[in-house]
Structure 1
Amino acid sequence: MRVNVNNPVLVKEVKLRFRSLKSFTGILFYLIAMSIFVFGFIFLTTSFSGTGFFKPDQSFILFGLLTYIQLGLILFITPGLTAGTISTEREKQTLNMLLTTSQSSMQIILGKLSSSIAFLLLMLVAGLPIYSLVFLFGGISPSQLGLIFLFFLLTMITVGSIGVMFSTITRKTIVAMIATYGTMIFLSIVTAFFFMITVQVNMMGTGAIQSPSPIAHFWASINPGILIFTLLNPTTEEFVTELTQIDFPVWAGFTIFYVVLAATAITISIKKLRVNMNRPK
C-alpha cells in the first residue's frame, strides 16, 4: 500500500495562518515589546549603577527574564492557537466535509497541530536577534540557549497536543479553551504549590527530611518554571535533590512526562475524531 506523506491539511493551515496580516502584526508588536523591555532594562541598569557598563551577571538576569517571558508566551498563546482547531470546524459545520476527504485522522490532527507549532516557532526564531544582544555582554553560553529552546519546543508540542485533544472531544471552542488553560494553570502553578506542600509535610516534626519523597520530586519535575530555573542555575537541581532526597535529573523527568502526555493526547485526538461516524443509525 502506498503511503502518502503529503499533508494537504498542513499546507492549507500554514497558508491561511502565514498569509494573515493579523498573524504578522502580532509578531511585530511582540518584537517591539521585547525590544523595549531589553533596551529599557539595559538603560535602567547602566543608569542606576553609575558606571555605564553592563556586566555579565546583569546580562544573565536579563537572559533569565527573557526566558520566563518566552515561557509565559508559550503557555498563554499555545492554548489559544490549538484549542479551537477541531471544534471551530465543527461549529462552522465544515468538519463533516473534512472527514469525507481522503485524509486520515492522523493527517488531520497532525496537520492542525503542526501549523500552530510552526507559527509559534516563527515567533521564537523572530526573537533570536533580541536574545543575541545578551551574548554581547557575556554570562550566557550558546549551548544553554539551545537547550532551553529544545525544552520550549517540547512544551509547545505538549501544550498544543492537549489543546487539540480538548478541541476534539468537546463540541464548543470556549469549553476546549477553558479546559486547556486550566491544564496549563495546573502544570505551571498548582504543581509548584503541591511541591511546596509535599516538602513541608515531609519535613514536619523534625525539621529535616528523613526519607525520600518521590511525590515531591514528581511535582517539581513536571513544572516548566522549575525546569527552566534548573537549566539557568544548576545549583537549583542540587537544591531540589536535597529537598526530595531523589537523585534524578529534573529535565529527565520533565522529558519523560511531557513526551508521554503529548503522545497520549495525540492518540486520543486521532481515536475520537471519527468516533461519531462509527455509530449505527
Structure 2
Amino acid sequence: MSEDSTVFLAICIITFLIGFPNTVLAFCLCIRKIHRKPIPIDIFMLNLAASDLVFLTFLPVKMKEAADNMVWNMPGALCRFSLFMFFLPLYSSSLFLAAISAERYVCVAFPVRYKSPKRFIYTTLICVFTWVIIAVTSVFTYKAAYLVSNEADNTTNNRSLEPEPWDCYINLSAKQLTELLPVRLGIAVVFFLLPLLICCFCYISLIRILMKCPLLKRQLKLRVVGLIVGTLLVFAISFAPYNASHVVGFIKKENPDWRMKTLMLSTLNACFDPIIFFCISKDMRRAIKVCAKVLCSFMPT
C-alpha cells in the first residue's frame, strides 16, 4: 500500500467519523426547523447538509479503493456511479456556501426586503436551479470522461473482459483529456471562482456592517467570525487546490501528477461544513452541548 493511498484512506476515515454524525444531526434539525417555521437560511442549510450526506454515504467506496492501493477491485458500473456521487457534492457545496453568504448579507444589510413573504419561494427556486446546474454539469463531465471517444469505449469494454484490476478515473486517454480539460476549466470558474468572489464580497460587507454596530453581543460576533472562518477553510483547503489542478491541467494539456493529492484535500470538505452549521443554527449548538454533556457523564472522573 503506497503512502498516498494510506494518507487518502486516513483522510476518508477521519472525514467520515467527524462529518457523518454532525451532518445527519444538522440535516434532521433543518427538517425539524422547516416543519415549524421555515426561513431561507434553513433551506440553504438543508441542501448543504443533503449534499454532504450524499458525499459521505459513498465515501466508504473510496475507502475501499484506497485500501486496495487505488486499484479498482469492484464492479465497473459502481466506479461510474460512485464518481457521479463523489464529484457532485464538490460542485454543490461551493454554490450553497455562496448562497448562505448572500443570505446572511441580505438579512443584515436589507432587513426590510428580507422579510418579504416571497423570500421562501425565491429560496426554493434558487435551490432547484442550483441542483439542475449541478446535475447537468456532472452528467456532462461523466460523459466526457468515459464516452467521448471510441478509444475510451474500447478500453472500458476490454477492461470488463480482463481479470486484472484497473484504476477508476486516474489514467485518462489523450482523447478523453481533450474533451475533459475544457470542462474542468469551466467547473473551476463556475463552481469555485464565482462562489468565492460572492462569499468574499458578502462577508467583507457583513464585517463592515457589524463593525458599525458596537452594541451587538460578543457571542453573535464570534458566530459570524466562525461562519466566515469555516467558509474560508472549505474554499482554501478543500476547493482551491482541486480547482487549481483544473487550471494547470488545461494550460499544460495534461492530468497533473499531484491531482490525487488535491482530491484528498477536497474530501475534508465534509469536516468543515459542521462549523458552518454550528455557527448558524441555535438548535445545532444546543444539540451538540447536550451530546457533549452526555459523553462527559460517561467519562471516568
User: TM-score normalized by structure 1?
Assistant: 0.36
More helix by proportion, 1 or 2? 2
